[in-house]
Amino acid sequence: MTRTIPVSASAVTTQASKASELPRAARRRAAAAEAAPPENRLSIRLLQAIDVCVARIYHQTIVRTPQRLPRSGPAILICNHTSGLDPLLIQSVCPRLIVWMMASEYYEMKAFKWIFKTIEAIPVDRGGRDMAATRSALRALDQGSVLGVFPEGRIEKTRELLPFQTGVALIAIKTGVPVYPAYLDGTQRNKTMIHAFLARNRATLTFGSAVQFDRSSTSKEVLQDATDRFTEAVAALKARSEQAEASGRPNGSSGR
């Protein structure tokens, strides 16, 4: 037996009015949150399974402190850059799909391009200010994704952090999303993607809580101050990782 439930026309009008008052970006994020997460796609699940085998069985990936990413909703993950293998190592211990901003020369490698397209990676032209990549990053966050960025802009040749670029701060302030730091170290340092992939490596990952920073404007001073906060957060994780390595404390876990 079907039961009819009376609905007040005024109530419907009120709800519609409230919905229309929501910012357009907020409505898109709400719709994205209700949609099936990309991690549920068969192609993504298959690639993640392969990634786990490569990064945590063939290579050894040690997690000193677990990742802190939210289970849903947009976020930015920042990390120092040691090699072309970095995204695979980090993704292998993060349940959520990370949409990486990556150098266009890597993105265009024929052997891996279909993978990068499947995981919706964003190619970045390092020759100048790439506004198309920035728009793609903003769109990914607007859709509720986790954006992965290496703010140094290039691979470190030593264990010292390179200066962070202010682009992450600009994106974070414009979108209002949280920024989570990570620090990566290991024998993969300064290897090309192919070399790092084929040679077995031992990597360590240290994750931190969301960084607190001023979001009051996008002035040069505020952007630099936020960038300094990001640098300090990753540097603190670096010191923690090196201290654990030097003291010979347990390696943490190799899982998520």
Q: Would you tell me how many other CB atoms lie within 10 Å of the CB of residue 54?
A: 16
- Res 35: pLDDT: 61
- Res 119: pLDDT: 86
**Which domains are delineated in the chain?**
25-247 (3.40.1130)
- Res 179: pLDDT: 98
pLDDT in tens, the chain (256 residues): 444 334 334 443 344 444 444 466 555 655 555 567 888 889 999 999 999 999 988 999 999 999 999 999 999 999 999 998 999 999 999 999 999 998 888 777 777 788 888 888 998 887 667 789 999 999 999 999 999 999 999 999 899 999 999 999 999 999 999 999 999 999 999 887 788 888 899 999 999 999 999 999 999 999 999 999 999 999 999 999 999 888 876 555 555 5
- Contacting residues for 209 by C-beta, under 8 A, at least 6 apart: 68, 180
- Res 15: pLDDT: 40
Distances (CA, A) of 48 to 80, 161, 171, 187: 22, 29, 27, 22
Residue type, 135: R
Angle, alpha carbons 253-254-256 (nearest 5°): 85
Q: What is the pTM of this model?
A: 0.81
- Res 29: pLDDT: 56
Phi, psi dihedrals of residue 214, rounded to the nearest 5°: -70, 130
- Res 197: pLDDT: 84
Q: Counting Cβ atoms within 10 Å, is residue 66 exposed (0-12), middle (13-18) or buried (19+)?
A: middle
- Res 253: pLDDT: 58
Tell the residue number behind the tokens 């293998």, with chain if given: 85
Residues facing residue 179 across a β-bridge: 76
In the sheet with 202-207, reading across from the earlier edge strand, the strands are 60-65, 202-207, 179-186, 75-79, 146-149, 98-103, 122-124
